[in-house]
Amino acid sequence: MQTFPAKVNSEAARWFSDALLLVYAANSEDDVHRAMDRATAGLTSGESDRWLTSLLEQHADHRREQLRQDATAVSPAIARLTTREIEVLQRIAQGDTDAEIGLALGIATRTASKHVENILHKLGVETRTAAAAALFPR
């Protein structure tokens, strides 16, 4: 267990606050890494800086874990879709027609239509709107 350093000055506290904002604003593990690099650039090896950097690392680990959990927090219905079907579903959610989906993904319109049909069946819905809503669970 770490002990709190004898004195953390206001400049170090401000640095830590700014660094936390960078870490928790990260949207990927790579972003967390870049935030840590940016935040720790130019720090000294003083007791207070070492302590705050160690504490910041713990927060960075927490943010990475949050991002991992977010990535796996997919509805069971979506989890049954193939990677290609998820790509098609994302295009459906954008309002694309089968022809637009085919063009965007480099597949035939008929293939896009078949993917849409499979998606509706797997999600147990009847409309494209209902399928798109599956991307945004409550």
> What are the residue ranges spanned by the domains of the chain?
10-72, 76-133
Q: Tens of pLDDT along 5-48?
A: 556 677 777 888 888 888 888 888 888 889 888 888 877 777 66
Class at the top of the CATH hierarchy for domain 76-133: mainly alpha
Give the whole-angstrom CA distance, residue 45 versus residue 36: 16
Q: Is the pTM of this model over 0.85?
A: no
Give me 79's structure tokens. 């989890």
Q: Tens of pLDDT along 109-131?
A: 999 999 999 999 999 999 999 99
Give the whole-angstrom CA distance, residue 138 versus residue 11: 41
